[in-house]
Structure formats: structure tokens, C-alpha cells
Amino acid sequence: MLKYPLKFEPILKEKIWGGQKLNALLNKDSNLPNIGESWEISDVDGDISIVSNGALKGKTLKELLESYKAELLGEKNYKIFGNKFPLLIKFIDAKEDLSIQLHPNDALAAKRHDSFGKTEMWYVMQADEKANLIVGFNQEMTLDKYKSHLEAKKLTEILNYEDVEEGDVFFIDGGRIHAIGAGVMLAEIQQTSDITYRVYDWDRVDAQGNQRDLHIDLALEALDFNMKDDFRVSYPKKENQTNKMLQCPYFISNYLEITDTVKKENTVDSFIIYMCVSGEAIIESEQFSEVIKKGETVLLPAGIKTYQITSKNARVLEVYV
């Protein structure tokens, strides 16, 4: 029976733009020099998460899906996704700017890659002074205008820059051009997909003098030039209650600032994920007790219906489908 919160071994990704914050601030133990991402929960082929706690330690997420099915995902989710986990959960540290990029929507990803699309959400956990993000365009955009700026290496002139600080939240639809800026560490919630179309990578090279591949032609069909400026998410921050943050077709996210005990009941027929973005908390019921610290993620199977979260100082993101 899946009756306790599951933790997984972080899958650490070295990136040309990565740094040391995931190690220094989130205790991701690694000797890698440029850790860009910590994949907390993943069902991406080749990067399947492995349970790190409890009786199921050593089991893969894929094995859990095959064995427990709706008990893990929830009845409605299992009917939709079967033995595929629908979300990919990450922490990201950008020491340098990420490439300017975008992701395909569901229809295009299915046609080209037999994959989910990649819609995602960012929660900024830490940002250096004057750090920013690129989200969307700074003016009305057409295909011809975009192509002319790209070819002239003037793409940055038409992009929208957003200054950021801790607690800022952004919603990145499939098709929206974007880039995480240098000095930003964030939590990312996204569909299970590793498909990225890079359109500009700052002309940088790796240690061997090679540039990373660009996907300019693939991106043309995927780009959505008509998106509204609805990417910055406002949300309440009332203590010791569930604050609605974002609802989209692929996931729902809430914010909890916990300074006492919050009693919870799963009424959504889904697994529930908690990402601790500050402090630490105890998630417990009569059957279990699990500590979650800053930089840790737990997955509560759908079969767990009642529990409580206790803390003096925790900020937690709650995610389900």
C-alpha cells in the first residue's frame, strides 16, 4: 500500500549556464562544477526517478506506476495518463543566462516527438540584485519582424525583460519565447517533456569550443506571436491556509506559508506534490511522519486522504493534476 510520502533521489544536470546554488543553498550534494538543474520527480525516458525513503526505497517511479496505478495517480488521472507520470518537477540555478528558447504545445509535440507539450511555471526562490527573466515580446510581433531581428542578431531588442525577486511567479505556455536570466534560482513545475527549441544562445561555446545546437526552423511553427501579457502570476499569501496560485489545463499549484499546523484533506482524486522553497515542515498522519526541508520535494500518493503539515517557518508549493 502506498501510505507514506515518497521522496526521490535528485537527478542532477550539469549545464553550461549552471552554478553552485543548488549545492550551497539547497544541499544538493555534488562535485559537479556547474549544476544547472535538479530533477526532483521525473518520468522522462532515461531519467526516471528512484525512491529514496521508506519501504519502497530503490523502486523507480515507473515501477510504482505499473504496480499501484490509480492508487498513486488517482482514478481520473490514471484514465488519462495510464502508466505515464504527467509532471516533471525541478529546481534550477542559472549562474548565466539560459538560451532564448520556447517549447511546443501538446499538438505539435505529439506530432513531432510523440510527447507531451511543455507548459511550465516558475517560482523564484532567490535572485541576485538586478536579476531578470525574458518572457514574451515587448511589442506586437509578426513572423517577418521576428525573423528579421533574429537574422540581424538583434533578437534581444524585441524581447520583454522582467525584473524578479523572491516569491515572483511566472506562467510559461507552450509557444511563449523565454529565458531564465543569470542570478536566478527557481522551482519549476512543468509537463513531462524535455523538448526545448533554442533560437539564440548568446554565441557562447563550451570547453571544447563548440556551440550548442539551435532549433530555429523547428521554433518557427511552435512560436505563438499572439500571447497576452498574462505571464506574471499574482497570488495571496495568507498564513496557514491554502492560497490558490495557478490553475491551467496541465496542473494546479497553490502556495502555503506555514507557521502552525495546517490540516489537509485530499479531495481532488490526484497525487499531491509538495516542494519546500523555504524553511522546513513535518508532513504527518497516523500512519507516517516525514520531514521536508528547503530544496526537498515529496509526492503524496492519491490514496493518502488526510494528513497535516506543521512548521514554524515553511513556505511550500502544492501541486496536483
pLDDT value at position 226? 83
d(CA 67, CA 134): 42
Question: What is the Cα–Cα distance from 43 to 85, expressed in whole angstroms?
Answer: 6
Q: Are 18 and 36 in contact (CB under 8 A)?
A: yes
CA distance 209 to 102: 25
At 208 the three-state DSSP class reads coil
Q: Which residues pair with 293 in a beta bridge?
A: 280
- Label residues 154-188 b or e (16+ Cβ within 10 Å = b): ebeebbbeeebeebbbbbbbbbbbbbbbbbbbbbb
The pLDDT of residue 206 is: 83
142-146: which pairs have CB atoms within 8 A and are 24 or more residues apart? Answer: 142/225, 143/220, 143/223, 143/225, 146/223, 146/225
Measured CA to CA, the distance from residue 254 to residue 181 in angstroms comes to: 24
Cell 557562447 maps to which residue? Answer: 204
Low-confidence ranges of the chain (pLDDT < 50): none
Nearest to 113 by CA among 22, 233, 25, 194: 194
Distance, CA of 304 to CA of 302 (rounded, Å)? 5
Active site residues: 198
**pLDDT tens for residues 69-87?**
999 999 999 999 999 999 9
Residue 106 phi, psi dihedral angles, 5° rounding: -60, -45
Write out 95-135 in H/E/C secondary structure. Answer: CCCCCEEECCCHHHHHHHHCCCCCCEEEEEEEECCCCEEEE
pLDDT of residue 229: 82
Instruction: Give residue 267's pLDDT.
Output: 95
Contact 247, 305 (CB under 8 A): no
CA distance 79 to 114: 19
User: One-letter amino acid identity for 4?
Assistant: Y
Question: Which residues have CB under 8 Å from 24's CB, separation 6+?
Answer: none
* Among candidate residues 99, 104, 98, the one with its CA nearest the CA of residue 223: 104
The whole-number pLDDT of residue 275 equals 98
- Radius of gyration of the chain from its Cα atoms, rounded to whole angstroms: 20
Q: What is the pLDDT of residue 230?
A: 86
Cβ atoms < 10 Å from Cβ of 245: 23
- Write down the pLDDT at residue 59: 98
Q: Which are the contacts of 151, defined by CB distance < 8 A and separation ≥ 6?
A: none
